[in-house]
Every structure is written in C-alpha cells, then in structure tokens.
Amino acid sequence: MSFYDLLWMAMRAFKANRIRSFLTTLGIVIGVSAVIAMLSVGKGASEKIQEQIASIGSNLIIVLPGSTTAGGVRMGLGTQPTLSIGDAQAVARECPSVLRVAPIRAGVAQVVYANMNWATGVVGTTEDYFEMRDWKAVSGRVFSDEDVRSASKVAVLGQTVVDNLFVGEDPVGKVIRIKGMPFTVIGVLERKGQSPTGQDQDDTIIVPVSSAQRFLFGTTFPGQIDRMMVQAIGPQYMEDAQEEVKQAILQRHKQEDFTVRNLTQFLQVQEQSARVMSLLLLSVASVSLIVGGIGIMNIMLVSVAERTKEIGIRMAVGARVWDIRMQFLLEAVILSTLGGFVGIILGVVSSYLMSKAFSWNILLSIPDILIAFSFSFFVGILFGFYPAYKASNLNPVDALRYE
C-alpha cells in the first residue's frame, strides 16, 4: 500500500471523528505553545540580566568600609568610614592584577537649574570610573585627571537628570546648583537603564571626587571615601586581584576593617538563578506535551478497538502487518504534527501578548521553535507506536468476528 493511500485513509478517519481529533490534538497544542512561551520569556530574562551585568561593568571588585557597633548592635557594612583616597592609590600602585581603581564619595543632593529642581544621587569619583563601566558621553565630555587634581566644579549628567532639569535645552555649558554650589555641566552620559537591583542608573550626577569631598559631602578625616571600585585586568585574574587588594589595604590599616567583594560574581549568580528558573518553567511546560502524547495514545487505542473489524477485513484482502502498523502510526504523527503547527502559532502570539501586558523581554528564535515542533513530532511517534503495534498484531479471524 502506497504512502498516499495510507494518508488518504488517515484523513478519512479524522473526518469521521472531527471533535475527537480536535480534542486529541489540544494537549499537543497547549504543550508546544507553553514550551515556546517559556523558552522565549526565559531567554529574554537571561538576555536582560546579561545587559544589566554589562551595564555595571566587567571584572569588577568593590571594596566597602567597615561597620560600627552601637549598644551591642552591628550597624552593617559602610557605617564606619575607614577607606581613603590613599587606599585607592595604594591599590592602583601595588596590585599587579588590577587595571583600574575608582574611589567613590557619594550622596543624595537637591539639584537646581533655573526654576527646575530634582533630588538625585551624586557620585564623586575619578575618570577611571567611566572606563570601568564603559560609560561614554553622548554630548560634551567626561572630566579629566586634571579636573580631579584641581577639584573643578564640573559635572556629568545622566539622562534621567537631563530629562527632569532641562526641557528642550542642551545642558552642556549650563550651570546647575548642587546643594547650593554652582557646577558647570560638561557632558551628558549615554543611557544605561536599570541595574540588576532595579535602580535607575541614569538618575545620577558624576563629579570629581575631590570636588565632592571639598564642596558637597565633606569628610570625617582627610581623603575619606565611601567605597572603591576595582577592575581586574581580566576575568582569570579576579581571585588574584581580590587577594592583592585585601593585602594592600590590610598593610595600611593593620586590621581588617573593610570588605572586598567580587561584584561580577554576585551578578553572575543572579543570571544563573534566572537560567535555573527558566529550565524549571520549561520542564513544567514539557509535561503538557507528555500529557498530550498520552492523550493521543489513549484515543488511538480506542480507535483500534472501534476499527477492529475494519482491520480484519483489510488483512483478509491482503494488507500486510507493516501496512496496518504504518496506518495507525501515521494517524498519530499527523495529529501531533498538526497540534505542533497550531501550538507554534499560539506560542508566538502568547509570547508577544505577555511581553506587551507585563513589559517582559522575550527572545524568539527559529531553533527553539524547531525544537518544540520536533518534540511534538516525536511525541506522536513515541505514543502512537503502541496502538499501531497492537493493531498490526491482531489475529485476522478474531478481528473479523469482532462486534
């Protein structure tokens, strides 16, 4: 019997049982669409986290000051000022695995321009900060080492600050007042978006660290900073850089009143968590395909029982075991394949709707769609084989006598 004849007989069987065929494929439709939706959302989430990690910078280490104790209660890291500009200079000078060091003196301040005002974070640092974070100016320039040495009253603005202080104006060259002190805007930074913790990275003003110490936030002791960011020369040098930084500061302080953390590693843990969650969601979605496959097998077994006499007649007129087996296997594969096609359409549409409704990133790819479709195809073969095998092994005499 030719493939065309088998296909014609399969389509005739579907036409005779339209509702049952539709309900049989429904499980596959739901399974395929769920797999595609979970893959697109999961990959979109991973890509978003990777973008956020890239926006923070690469190969970064953060050094935090120590903690204070009041009434027997420890107040947490950063509550005791123990770091200084001298520490940052020592790290840059003495640590061969370190590429750049950026001391930071930061705070929150009210910023005024003309009749507009905005409360934002102000970061005092050095020019290395922009290199470490790969943060470029879209207009104007960032400040230089000379600006840091001379404590120049210059500022570089994030996009959120520009949006709230300047309406239809180019901020470069304008004078803003930070805590009442005049600063000249020399540049506007490119947009970074949200950080992995959900903070708006563009809601910031960056000034020379010496200017922040002298004019804005003051210091408890000369050269005091809040923290420092350190960039290793490569990912393979991160552990060496951490140890070198620790030893360099420990030699100056004579006690461990600071903490050294691998910032990139912390962010990568978040990315790994997102991947695990995506795999978990994908596993749950895949269960729908298995359930759909079991549904196909059950319906095909019912079909074999209903068509036992037909099978006996076909065998009596010369149909081979292989013909009977291929007929029922082809019916199962067609059901699962049709369900796969519809599931792909439904999965793409549902992914798009979720991205619009919940503002989620989605990442649809042809390989993922092909994987989901191939899975539905093999589900048809896997769960259609037993009914096909059972039909082909019927005894023709018993089948003809079956009522």
Q: Is the pLDDT of residue 72 over 50?
A: no
Which pLDDT score is estimated for 180? 92
Contact 158, 189 (CB under 8 A): yes
- Token pair of 326 as six digits: 């291929």
pLDDT digits (tens, 9 = 90+) for 264-279: 666 666 666 666 766 7
Ordered DSSP codes for 204-217: EEEEEHHHIIIIIS
Residue-range domain boundaries for the chain: 3-52+269-400, 81-256
Which pLDDT score is estimated for 70? 42
- Strand pairing class (137-140; 116-125): unpaired
Over range 189-203, report the average pLDDT.
83
Over range 346-369, report the average pLDDT.
80
pLDDT digits (tens, 9 = 90+) for 36-64: 887 787 777 777 766 666 666 678 899 99
What predicted TM-score, i.e. pTM, was given to this entire model?
0.62
Angstrom distance (rounded) from CA 301 to CA 24: 12
Phi-psi region of 165 (alpha: psi -120 to 50; beta: other; left: phi over 0): alpha
Helix (H) / strand (E) containing 137 = strand 137-140
- Strand pairing class (204-208; 154-157): antiparallel
Contact 295, 24 (CB under 8 A): yes
Which pLDDT score is estimated for 274? 65
Rounded alpha-carbon distances, angstroms, from residue 56 to 50, 117, 140, 193: 10, 27, 22, 10
What dihedral angle (degrees, nearest 10) is formed by the CA atoms of 104, 105, 108, 109? -120
Contact 174, 185 (CB under 8 A): yes
Which pLDDT score is estimated for 71? 45
Which pLDDT score is estimated for 302? 78
Angstrom distance (rounded) from CA 264 to CA 196: 11
- Residues comprising the chain, all counted: 403
Give the 3-state secondary structure of residue 380.
helix
Contact 356, 301 (CB under 8 A): no
Which pLDDT score is estimated for 226? 92
* Of 61-65, 161-165, 305-309, 344-348, minimum mean pLDDT range: 305-309
Q: Is the pLDDT of residue 89 over 90?
A: yes
Q: Is the pLDDT of residue 1 over 60?
A: no
How many helices (H) and strands (E) would you count in the chain? 13, 14
Contact 101, 91 (CB under 8 A): yes
Angstrom distance (rounded) from CA 335 to CA 338: 5
Over range 146-162, report the average pLDDT.
95
Residue 251 binned pLDDT confidence (cut-offs 50, 70, 90)? very high
